[in-house]
Amino acid sequence: MNILETINELGKKAKDASIKIRVLQKEKKMAAYKYLEKNIEKSADLILSSNKLDIENAITNDLSKPLINRLKVTEESISDIIKSITEIKNQPDPIGRVLENWERPNGLKFSKISVPLGVLGVIYESRPNVTVDASCLALKSNNALILRGGSDSYHTSKQLVNIITQSFIEANLPENIIQMIPTTDREAVDHLLAMKDYVNVIIPRGGKSLIKKINEKSKIPVIKHLEGLCHVYVDKEADIEIAKNIIFNSKLRRPEICGAAETLLIDSSLKNKALELIEPIYKSGCVIKGDDFIVTLDNNFERANDEDWSTEYLDKIISVKIVDGVVGATDHINRYSSNHTESIITENEQTFMNFYNNIDSAIILKNASTQFADGGEFGFGAEIGISTDKLHVRGPVGAKHLTTFKYIVHGSGQSRP
């Protein structure tokens, strides 16, 4: 059997599994999560060993430092994976919820009920934790899942899928709920994107080139996350100490994630405070790329060009610009933003509402770090991705977003005139 036949077979099995688990009971799902928590913990050495092989290959292939950071699994990150499983397990069940009820004058009674999407195809690059998060969210929402991990994380993801499969077997769940494409061949992605008879939704997680390719080639609806070109704007009525803390956390907590700030905008009335705002991140190793004014503050600051304002660095680099108030900030953001996450630091509610109303990004924060753009922080347990689309979900995509709905109409013999 060649690889295309193999992927077709995965599709058929996934569709069959999706039918079997449409009404999977909550108790069975809870048992599967418990087995998975136990087996991840028990298999920590196997996971670390597989990840070591991926890291060695990444270094040999000269993978960038931010991508290696995303790829790396440690004992601490295994604990985080288990914590994520527990959080998803404890989320309310999203299936079978009555979303709306109403009655028409003719006596017909309508109900709108949440149901699974069916089969999810998740394509991702160098983040092995996505393997577990996506699997747990798919199970929570009664969806089957086909995973296609990147070549960088192949060994770690394969090991995790083995553990997930074993855990679901122990919980007596139907077979083939979670499957992984067993190759790093890029032709496999093209074939998955054409499997509209088996797959209902494609969810990509990766760089701009991957998302662009998937969006252009997919014959299946895509929930996409283009980039995380996130901004922090410091308003003239900002608390400077709050601003310094938020800038530092937004950029340097984890510079390689999509919720990291890439551009800092400072109100022109705070020019005399600009260096004070920038120094904490600069002294912690962040490269500063600034406009004409910013580069005058320190000889080591680099001049930003137009490309910098539209670059997702995913590294210890930030572009900094002086803007003319909230209007200047929103004009800049609307020109360069990827519509992911923006934060304003201000004590003025009217200014915040101006900022909010004039920006079309999925997540708008007031006096908080952009790194809260995360499904766990939203209370979703975890996310399968962050959507910068508008249909059918925006922002962090949790289990409750991996659903659609059916209408139930109860009659008592009505015929339409």
Number of structural domains found in the chain: 2
Least confident of 204-218, 330-344, 392-406: 204-218
Going by pLDDT thresholds of 50, 70 and 90, the confidence category of residue 187 is: confident
* Cα 90 from Cα 133, distance rounded (Å): 14
The domain containing residue 249 runs over which residues? 230-372
Does residue 245 belong to any structural domain of this protein? yes
The reply to whether 95 and 190 lie within a common domain is yes
Query: CB-based contacts of 103: which residues, under 8 Å, 6+ apart?
Result: 109, 110
In this prediction, residues 295-315 reach a mean pLDDT of 95
In this prediction, residues 363-378 reach a mean pLDDT of 95
Least confident of 4-18, 39-53, 76-90, 372-386: 372-386
Does residue 403 belong to any structural domain of this protein? no
The reply to whether 344 and 364 lie within a common domain is yes
Looking at residue 4, what is its pLDDT? 82
Asked whether residue 106 carries a pLDDT value surpassing 70, the answer given is yes
* Cα 82 from Cα 62, distance rounded (Å): 30
Q: What is the pLDDT of residues 124-172, one digit of tens each?
A: 887 899 999 999 999 999 999 999 988 889 999 999 999 999 999 999 9
Give me the DSSP letters along 222-273: B-------EEEEE-TT--HHHHHHHHHHHHHSSTTSTTSEEEEEEEGGGGGG
The reply to whether 334 and 321 lie within a common domain is yes
Does residue 400 belong to any structural domain of this protein? no
Does residue 9 belong to any structural domain of this protein? yes
* Cα 198 from Cα 219, distance rounded (Å): 12
Going by pLDDT thresholds of 50, 70 and 90, the confidence category of residue 385 is: confident
Q: Where are the alpha helices (DSSP H) in 3-43?
A: 3-20, 26-42
Look at the block and give the residue holding tokens 């077997």.
Answer: 169
The count of other CB atoms within 10 Å of the CB of residue 307 is 8
Does residue 408 belong to any structural domain of this protein? no
The answer to whether 305 touches 274, Cβ cutoff 8 Å, is no
The reply to whether 191 and 257 lie within a common domain is no
Task: Write the DSSP symbol of residue 174.
Answer: P
Residue where one domain finishes, among candidates 226, 247, 281: 226
The count of other CB atoms within 10 Å of the CB of residue 212 is 13
In this prediction, residues 42-68 reach a mean pLDDT of 92
Looking at residue 381, what is its pLDDT? 83
Q: What is the pLDDT of residues 254-291, one digit of tens each?
A: 998 999 999 999 999 999 999 999 999 999 999 999 99
Q: Which long-range contacts (CB under 8 A, 24 or more apart) does 344-353 make?
A: 344/232, 344/233, 344/235, 345/232, 345/233, 345/234, 345/235, 345/238, 345/239, 345/242, 345/243, 345/246, 346/235, 346/237, 346/238, 347/237, 347/238, 347/239, 348/235, 348/237, 351/235, 351/237, 351/326
The reply to whether 218 and 234 lie within a common domain is no
Identity of residue 9: E
Residue where one domain finishes, among candidates 226, 243, 264: 226
The reply to whether 190 and 302 lie within a common domain is no
The reply to whether 201 and 323 lie within a common domain is no
The reply to whether 193 and 262 lie within a common domain is no
Task: Write the DSSP symbol of residue 51.
Answer: H
The domain spanning residue 170 has which CATH number? 3.40.605.10
Of 316, 318, 210, the closest CA to residue 266 belongs to 318
Q: How far is CA 227 from the centre of its chain?
A: 10
Looking at residue 167, what is its pLDDT? 98
Half-sphere exposure of 354 (CA within 13 A, CB side): 16
The answer to whether 183 touches 156, Cβ cutoff 8 Å, is no
The domain spanning residue 302 has which CATH number? 3.40.309.10
Looking at residue 56, what is its pLDDT? 94
Does residue 386 belong to any structural domain of this protein? no
Looking at residue 227, what is its pLDDT? 79
- pLDDT above 70 covers a percentage of the chain that reads 100
Asked whether residue 300 carries a pLDDT value surpassing 80, the answer given is yes
The reply to whether 283 and 335 lie within a common domain is yes
Query: CB-based contacts of 35: which residues, under 8 Å, 6+ apart?
Result: 167, 168, 170, 171
| Cα dihedral 193, 195, 199, 200 in deg (nearest 10) | 70
109-116 and 98-103 strand pairing: antiparallel
The reply to whether 266 and 156 lie within a common domain is no
3 state SS of 50: helix
Looking at residue 1, what is its pLDDT? 65
Mean pLDDT across the chain: 94
Look at the block and give the residue holding tokens 């080591």.
Answer: 300
Half-sphere exposure of 67 (CA within 13 A, CB side): 19
* Cα 3 from Cα 322, distance rounded (Å): 53
Of 299, 263, 296, 293, the closest CA to residue 281 belongs to 263
Of 39, 201, 19, the closest CA to residue 122 belongs to 201
Q: What is the pLDDT of residues 65-83, one digit of tens each?
A: 878 888 999 999 999 999 9
The reply to whether 58 and 191 lie within a common domain is yes
The reply to whether 191 and 81 lie within a common domain is yes
Does residue 417 belong to any structural domain of this protein? no
* Cα 117 from Cα 179, distance rounded (Å): 17
pTM (two decimals): 0.88
* Cα 149 from Cα 166, distance rounded (Å): 19
Residue where one domain finishes, among candidates 191, 226, 261: 226
Does residue 190 belong to any structural domain of this protein? yes
The answer to whether 150 touches 241, Cβ cutoff 8 Å, is no
